């Protein structure tokens, strides 16, 4: 039975505190949008590869 995904929600928080460094300044809106776009593109690529199988 195939599984149909109507919507995918991805939430990501990027900080530098885990490496012991000082927290970085928040990136500009364009940077955030670029990161989200890259994440979405990768997820869609993975889903496309899985659907080809």
Q: Any idea what the Cα angle at residue 30 is, between residues 47 and 7, rounded to 5°?
A: 30
19 assigned to some structural domain: no
pLDDT at res. 27: 57
31 assigned to some structural domain: yes
37 assigned to some structural domain: yes
Could you list the residue range(s) of the whole structural domain that residue 33 is in?
27-52
pLDDT at res. 13: 75
User: pTM to 2 decimals?
Assistant: 0.45
Q: Any idea what the Cα angle at residue 15 is, between residues 14 and 21, rounded to 5°?
A: 155
Residues 19-39: pLDDT tens digits? 555 555 555 777 888 888 899
27 versus 46: which is more confidently predicted? 46
Q: What is the number of domains present in the chain? A: 1
pLDDT at res. 33: 85
33 assigned to some structural domain: yes
* Three-class DSSP labels, the chain: CCCCCCCCCCCCCCCCHHHCCCCCCCCCHHHHHHHHHHHHHHHHHHHHHHHHC
């Amino acid at each position: 039975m195939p599984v149909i995904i109507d919507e995918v929600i991805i939430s990501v928080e990027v900080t530098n505190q885990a490496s012991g460094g000082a927290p970085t300044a928040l990136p500009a809106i364009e940077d955030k949008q670029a990161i989200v776009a890259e994440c979405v593109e990768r997820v869609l690529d993975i889903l496309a590869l899985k659907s080809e199988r």
